[in-house]
Chain A
Amino acid sequence: SYELTQPPSVSVSPGQTATITCSGDKLRDKYASWYQKRPGQSPVLVIYQDFKRPSGIPERFSGSNSGNTATLTISGTQAMDEADYFCQAWDSSTLFVFGPGTTVTVL
């Protein structure tokens, strides 16, 4: 079965850039999405189809997908961005697979 891996945690200073990776075999051939999940809240879609931002998601969230790695970048990280972020891959044969999630801490 297809698997995605993410670093367990990422730390970032306020105003700096947080980079979260998601790795999987030939991930470039799939669509990657990213979700933000704060404790006690439902997941929020922040990036879909590799780099697209849903309406209402700040521009500081951006995404890319190349080779075996999809990347979520948070530029100018704010305290409110502290949350778990998990990736999700899709293609028409594998369908939906989720990564284990990365905890972003804003120090």
Chain B
Amino acid sequence: QVQLQESGPGLVKPSETLSLTCTVSGGSMSDFYWAWIRQPPGKEMEWIGYVSYTGTSKYKSSLKSRVTMSIDTSKNQFSLRLTSVTAADTALYYCARVPLTHDDSGTYGDAFDVWGQGTVVTVSS
């Protein structure tokens, strides 16, 4: 059974860079997208972006200028970097798996079928 585990600092100073890693165990990274999602306190879930097993990525447009995602399939890990953080980036951060559909429309992923337990990141000086 595939499991995901987030790791990284729980406290980041304003204007610095938030870095998180998600370790995948119990399954292959191939033929999936690997996503980051966050939930600020009292707010709804927000998709941040995903990276494919081939290394291509797509980000939420409003975060695109600050986000970089990468993947290392040899280590079964993928990562999130979010630069110039502010208090608005304080949230519970999840990593998640996106299964792919291959059909006449092309290849796409439209849901998150496995989630990590989440890690709280607080932005504060």
Residue ranges of A at the interface with B (Cβ–Cβ < 8 Å): 31, 33, 35, 41-45, 48-49, 54, 86, 88, 90, 92, 95-101
Q: Is the CB of B117 within 8 A of A42?
A: yes
Q: Is the CB of A95 within 8 A of B46?
A: no
Which residues of chain B in 52-108 are interfacial with respect to chain A, using CB atoms and an 8 Å cutoff?
A: 58, 60, 94, 101, 105, 108
Q: Is the CB of A86 within 8 A of B110?
A: no
Q: Given A95-B60, A98-B47, A99-B44, is A88 in contact with B117 using a C-beta cutoff of 8 Å?
A: no
Q: Given A31-B111, A42-B115, A49-B111, is A98 in contact with B46 using a C-beta cutoff of 8 Å?
A: yes
Say what secondary structure dominates the interface of chain A.
Answer: strand
Q: Is the CB of A101 within 8 A of B113?
A: no
Residue ranges of B at the interface with A (Cβ–Cβ < 8 Å): 35, 44-47, 58, 60, 94, 101, 105, 108, 110-113, 115-118
Q: List residues of chain B with CB within 8 A of the CB of A101.
A: 44
Among residues of B, the one whose C-beta sits closest to the C-beta of A89 is B110
Q: Is the CB of B47 within 8 A of A48?
A: no
Task: State A100–B115 Cα separation when bound (angstroms).
Answer: 18
Q: Given A86-B44, A86-B45, A98-B44, is A92 in contact with B108 using a C-beta cutoff of 8 Å?
A: yes
Task: State A68–B38 Cα separation when bound (angstroms).
Answer: 26
Among residues of A, the one whose C-beta sits closest to the C-beta of B118 is A42
Q: List residues of chain A with CB within 8 A of the CB of B118.
A: 42
Q: Is the CB of A88 within 8 A of B111?
A: yes
Task: State A42–B113 Cα separation when bound (angstroms).
Answer: 11
> Given A43-B94, A96-B47, A98-B47, 19 other A-B contacts at CB below 8 A?
A31-B110, A33-B110, A42-B115, A42-B117, A44-B115, A45-B113, A49-B111, A54-B113, A86-B45, A88-B111, A88-B112, A90-B111, A92-B108, A95-B60, A96-B35, A97-B47, A99-B44, A100-B44, A101-B44
